[in-house]
Chain A
Amino acid sequence: MSASSTATAVIRVCRTASRPRPLLLPCLLTLAVIALPAQAQRSAEEVWSDTCTYCHTTGIGPELRGRQLPPAMIQAFARYGVRQMPAFSESEISDAELATLANWISQHPTQANEEKPHAAP
């Protein structure tokens, strides 16, 4: 629910519906065995965009990039959750992924919007 979000375009034509419909045959009963995160390690960018970005680039949680936060601290916050932040178990973000992510965040250059106040404590 985001009652106060700014108004957007009047009637938006959905991206998928406006394209020619794909041939049905190939995707009918698509047997899709998707790579399991537990087995295939995702890059830091992938984990960031799968999970962190929803709160940490929207002002819900603080911006983390460009602050040289200690990787160990980032890992602990993500794994155990702090206050309103949920905990992310190893079945969701593996130890290896979390270590790579924490280094990536820690070394990430300053964001353009870094001076914005943090929404969350």
Chain B
Amino acid sequence: MTSYSVLPAGLTQETFGQAIDAFRHLLGDSQVISDQQRLAPYRKIMLPHDENDHAASAVVLPNSVEQVQGILKICNRFKVPVWPISTGRNFGYGSAAPGERGQVVLDLKRMNRILEVDAQLCTALVEPGVTYKQLQDYLKERDIPLWLSFPAPGPIAGPVGNTLERGEGNTPYGDHFNNACGMEVVLANGEVLRTGTGGLVNSNSWQVFKYGFGPYLDGLFTQSNFGVVTKLGLWLMPAPAGHRTVLVQYDEEQLETAIDTLAPLRIAGHIPNVGVMANATLALTSARSRHEIYQGSGAVPQDIIRAEAKKIGLADWNIIFTLYGSEERIAADYKLVSQAFERSGARVIPDIHDPMQVNELSLDAFRLYNWRGGGGSMWFSPICPARGRDFVEQTRLARSIYEEFGFDYMSAPALSGRALHHVMPLEYNRTDTEETRSAHLCFEKLMDEFAKRGHAVYRTGIGYMDKLADSYGPVKQEVNRAIKRALDPNGIIAPGKSGIRL
């Protein structure tokens, strides 16, 4: 009898072996992975946890909705927990590894069909394995003038996984969940739910009208473990006639003014996209590695960062956004926004290039990983009201905690609107045990100190989900649990995801 070195919690070798046999029978031998060498790619994480705590017991690779239904049936029968992934590129939050040791990864990458593109109403319907590159190639090959909004790892990540995590891109469609319309979800009992108007036989409005009739359910299937999403509708942006990307720079002392100037322009729509803001350290990662500018220990001193940034035209804070449309429209918008920024004391530099804001796929953001080297990276992702004094408070608090543990404070807020997604990478050398431990302690302290002051965190990685869910209070957790019990009484779908379990 085969002996499995990693088992789901509470399962015997024998029961797990029976489940694996059933998976093989359903999917074919090659679509069920259980030997350690083939499982290795699913173990690689960038978080400061022991990989063994997130080791999958197996991976199953369905290629149809029916196979997903069949998998969940087997899971219920043998009480096997599964962790669904779409493209599995959740870098800095857990990559493709499951939340808990022994969970079976339900890898949906083979379900990668672009099912529909409606060029007139600018929508698409895709399966979970579709990558942004695949969808973009599809549109380009057919000359369909639609743009995508994607996260920085766009070429290798996909719209379903990203949207389900409520991720962000940098075009006017950058709030991805807000631009999703209609889901197909396989529930734990094997039934298939279509949200919005999708329940109607032959519905002709599934990708154009979100709400349908009765409760709007889609949010329940984001950042949750209430179902496995097998199709997602997307709204795509008509390609604009033109675009102009603008860089606005402020010094540290002007930070409060910067946000208070930016926010009204963004809320009123004069800045139409989810632009980004980068502090000098983060912006420097696009051109330098840490050891090129500093060989000491601890955080790189601010005066060195400032001087190095200045050499390549970067300021303490760099705001990048884009204006879209006809030449006349861009000229009018540019006049309005540039005057507002200049009046507040900023330096405005037009005509720079940021691929993500203009539908160009790149992995430029991965230069971040070369800053420290060693493969350790995680995202601390609080939400900040788009008010100068709040942002200054968050940056001071975050910087003091990063530096207490010897890390470089990097900040890359997304200009979401009334709020900023104040995402901060924590870069560390994962091959250094002591540094890895410090990164973990630093991250926990960030979570504690931010929660204490009412700063909500919008998303977190495996190993930190229970802690984050706690900060949202017991009532929310109890409601989540009640829904989980109702929809998934055996707790087979991603137990622990977002702190939700039976």
Residues on A lying within 8 angstroms of B by beta carbon are 1-14, 16-19, 21-22, 24, 27-34, 36-38, 50-51, 54-55, 58, 60, 79-92, 119-121
A87 near B41 (CB under 8 angstroms)? yes
Contacts known (A2-B286, A4-B314); A36 close to B353, Cβ less than 8 A: no
Report B-chain residues with C-beta under 8 Å of the C-beta of A1: 152, 276, 278, 282-283, 286, 320, 354, 356, 364-365, 412
Report B-chain residues with C-beta under 8 Å of the C-beta of A91: 59, 61, 107, 109-110, 129
Q: Taking the complex as formed, is B244 at the interface, i.e. its CB lies under 8 A from any CB of chain A?
A: yes
Measured CB to CB, the nearest residue on chain B to A80 is B40
Taking a contact as CB atoms closer than 8 A, the residue among B41, B107, B289 that contacts A80 in the complex is: B41
B355 near A2 (CB under 8 angstroms)? yes
Pick from B87-95, B210-218, B261-269, B458-466 the stretch touching chain A: B87-95
A5 near B113 (CB under 8 angstroms)? no
A11 near B109 (CB under 8 angstroms)? no
Residues 114-151 of chain B, each 1 if its beta carbon lies under 8 Å from chain A, else 0: 11111110000000011001100010101111100000
For the complex, count residues of B whose C-beta is within 8 A of A.
89
A55 near B363 (CB under 8 angstroms)? yes
Report B-chain residues with C-beta under 8 Å of the C-beta of A81: 41, 44, 375
A90 near B115 (CB under 8 angstroms)? no
In the assembled complex, 7 residue pairs joining A and B whose CB atoms fall closer than 8 Å, in A order, are A2-B364, A3-B352, A10-B350, A12-B358, A14-B145, A17-B241, A38-B110
Taking a contact as CB atoms closer than 8 A, the residue among A5, A9, A14, A37 that contacts B112 in the complex is: A37
Report A-chain residues with C-beta under 8 Å of the C-beta of B61: 38, 91
Report A-chain residues with C-beta under 8 Å of the C-beta of B369: 60, 84, 120
Q: Taking the complex as formed, is B16 at the interface, i.e. its CB lies under 8 A from any CB of chain A?
A: no
Taking a contact as CB atoms closer than 8 A, the residue among A3, A27, A38, A82 that contacts B320 in the complex is: A3
Chain A: minimal CB distance from B233 (Å) = 13
B431 near A34 (CB under 8 angstroms)? no
Task: Scan residues 184-226 of chain B and give those whose CB is less than 8 A from a CB of chain A.
Answer: none
CA–CA, A30 and B124, complex, Å: 10
Chain A: minimal CB distance from B207 (Å) = 10
B114 near A13 (CB under 8 angstroms)? no
A21 near B145 (CB under 8 angstroms)? yes
B243 near A3 (CB under 8 angstroms)? no
A36 near B373 (CB under 8 angstroms)? no
B239 near A121 (CB under 8 angstroms)? no
A4 near B312 (CB under 8 angstroms)? yes
Residues 395-411 of chain B, each 1 if its beta carbon lies under 8 Å from chain A, else 0: 00000000000000000
A5 near B134 (CB under 8 angstroms)? no
Residues on B lying within 8 angstroms of A by beta carbon are 33, 38, 40-44, 59, 61, 63, 87-89, 91, 95-96, 107, 109-110, 112-120, 129-130, 133-134, 138, 140, 142-146, 152, 155-156, 239-244, 247, 276, 278, 282-283, 286-287, 289, 312-314, 318, 320, 327, 330, 349-356, 358-359, 361-367, 369-370, 373-375, 377, 412, 430-431
A84 near B373 (CB under 8 angstroms)? yes
Report B-chain residues with C-beta under 8 Å of the C-beta of A18: 241
Measured CB to CB, the nearest residue on chain B to A32 is B114
A6 near B431 (CB under 8 angstroms)? no
Measured CB to CB, the nearest residue on chain A to B331 is A11
Chain B: minimal CB distance from A120 (Å) = 5
Chain B CB within 10 Å — which of A21, A34, A37, A58 has the most? A34
Report A-chain residues with C-beta under 8 Å of the C-beta of B145: 14, 16-17, 19, 21-22
Give the 9 A-B residue pairs with the shortest CB-CB distance, closest first.
A84-B369, A16-B145, A91-B109, A87-B41, A54-B363, A89-B41, A83-B375, A87-B44, A11-B242
A89 near B42 (CB under 8 angstroms)? yes
Report A-chain residues with C-beta under 8 Å of the C-beta of B355: 2
Taking a contact as CB atoms closer than 8 A, the residue among B40, B118, B244 that contacts A28 in the complex is: B118
CA–CA, A5 and B364, complex, Å: 10
Chain A: minimal CB distance from B167 (Å) = 15
Chain A: minimal CB distance from B412 (Å) = 6
Measured CB to CB, the nearest residue on chain B to A6 is B353
Report B-chain residues with C-beta under 8 Å of the C-beta of A9: 351
Taking a contact as CB atoms closer than 8 A, the residue among B91, B116, B362, B373 that contacts A29 in the complex is: B116
Report A-chain residues with C-beta under 8 Å of the C-beta of B327: 11
CA–CA, A119 and B96, complex, Å: 26
Report B-chain residues with C-beta under 8 Å of the C-beta of A82: 375
Chain B: minimal CB distance from A18 (Å) = 8
Chain A CB within 10 Å — which of B40, B119, B373, B430 has the most? B119
Report A-chain residues with C-beta under 8 Å of the C-beta of B431: 83
A34 near B63 (CB under 8 angstroms)? no
CA–CA, A24 and B122, complex, Å: 11
Contacts known (A2-B286, A81-B44); A34 close to B138, Cβ less than 8 A: yes
A3 near B314 (CB under 8 angstroms)? yes
Contacts known (A54-B363, A88-B41); A16 close to B239, Cβ less than 8 A: yes
